[in-house]
Chains A and B, each alone.
Chain A
Amino acid sequence: GQQVMQIPQYQHVQEGEDFTTYCNSSTTLSNIQWYKQRPGGHPVFLIQLVKSGEVKKQKRLTFQFGEAKKNSSLHITATQTTDVGTYFCAGPDSGGYQKVTFGTGTKLQVIP
């Protein structure tokens, strides 16, 4: 079945440093979603990318969708303690409709 892997699994950064998480799919994706889960919370939708090579920005967050639509990345510039949490990517499942397969997640810890 479809697999979506994320690296790294964990990342500790000093506040102010940059952070990047990478998402790789075993199959070509029609789109990719990103979610953030704060400690003790639930996943919250951040963004969806659809086009090959697409780049979208949300303040200090930059999201990219690869040219081959099999990988994606999330880059955070100058991390803040509010960025702490686990970041998940998710791609449409081959089963169709609204099913998605979530990546394994990257847990970000920001050291003040």
Chain B
Amino acid sequence: NAGVTQTPKFQVLKTGQSMTLQCAQDMNHEYMSWYRQDPGMGLRLIHYSVGAGITDQGEVPNGYNVSRSTTEDFPLRLLSAAPSQTSVYFCASSPAGQGVHEQYFGPGTRLTVT
């Protein structure tokens, strides 16, 4: 199993550009989520999905869109990049079932917006 994969690893955007960060998992996990990590801020939840066709907002959703057409894939779209979106983005997945389960993280995408 590859686990959780993310592409690209690094990306530089100009202000106003749009792009999609890709995330895929091969563990048949129902729950997937996107976090951003900024120095001193920990991991903040952007959007999450509890299954194909179901998404919801997290703590910091503004400027980002998601969709979940399959169990495996959960792309994150930046609509019009801003310097404030410079960050490291992590995708994570976890299995369903009673209680809270461990989250498996992808390697991250380091995004710089100039």
Within B67-104, which residues are at the interface with A (CB < 8 Å)? 90, 92, 94, 96, 99-104
What residue of chain A has the Cβ atom nearest to residue B100's Cβ?
A92
B107 within 8 A of A: yes
Please indicate which of the listed interface residues A9, A43, A90, A103 has the most CB atoms of chain B within 10 Å of its own CB.
A43
A88 within 8 A of B: yes
Q: Mark A78-112, 1 if CB is under 8 A from B, else 0.
A: 00000000001010110001111111110000000
B100: min CB distance to chain A, Å: 5
| Cβ–Cβ contact A33 & B102, under 8 A | yes
User: In this assembly, does A48 line the interface, its C-beta being within 8 Å of a C-beta of chain B?
Assistant: yes
Q: Which of B40, B90, B104 contacts A104 (CB 8 A)?
A: B40
Residue of B nearest to A10 (CB): B40
B105 within 8 A of A: yes
Closest residue of chain A to B102 (Cβ to Cβ) is A45
- Spell out B's residues near A (CB within 8 Å): 31, 33, 35, 40-45, 48, 50, 58-59, 90, 92, 94, 96, 99-108
Binding site for B on A (CB under 8 A): 1, 9, 30-31, 33, 35, 41-45, 48, 88, 90, 92-93, 97-105
